[in-house]
Amino acid sequence: MVLKHMQMVIGYILWHEDYFRTVMEQQMKLESAKKLQVIRKLLSRDEKRITELKRLFIKIYEDNASGRLSDERFDMLGQSYEAEQKRLEAQVITLQQDIEV
């Protein structure tokens, strides 16, 4: 009984193969477009944050040079910003590769 049902389903699919192929291609294109949109949004967000981190690093450097920020605090913030920037730069490369694919 199960075999007969499977043969019937396969026969139906083969009979309407072009329709199924078209529907599946449209579905894949839609999913791909949505995924690409999400990746581009993440890429934009990460690039903005990298720019902001560069600006923040300059600010803490100026604050440290003027004496408004202690050397210890400057080192802590600098290391934190630098680690985040390296992580984001690696992520940006991955996202750019995903977009190319």
Contacts of 71 (CB under 8 A, 6+ apart): 64
**pLDDT score recorded for residue 1:** 83
The full set of domain ranges for the chain reads 2-100
Per-residue pLDDT tens over the stretch 31-88: 999 999 999 999 999 999 999 999 999 999 999 999 999 999 999 999 999 999 999 9
pTM for the predicted model, two decimal places: 0.72
DSSP-derived secondary structure letter, 5: H
Q: What's the burial of 24, exposed, middle or buried (CB within 10 Å: 0-12/13-18/19+)?
A: exposed
State whether residue 13 is helix, strand or coil. helix
Cβ neighbours, 10 Å, residue 25: 10
State whether residue 70 is helix, strand or coil. coil
Cβ neighbours, 10 Å, residue 47: 15
**pLDDT score recorded for residue 63:** 96
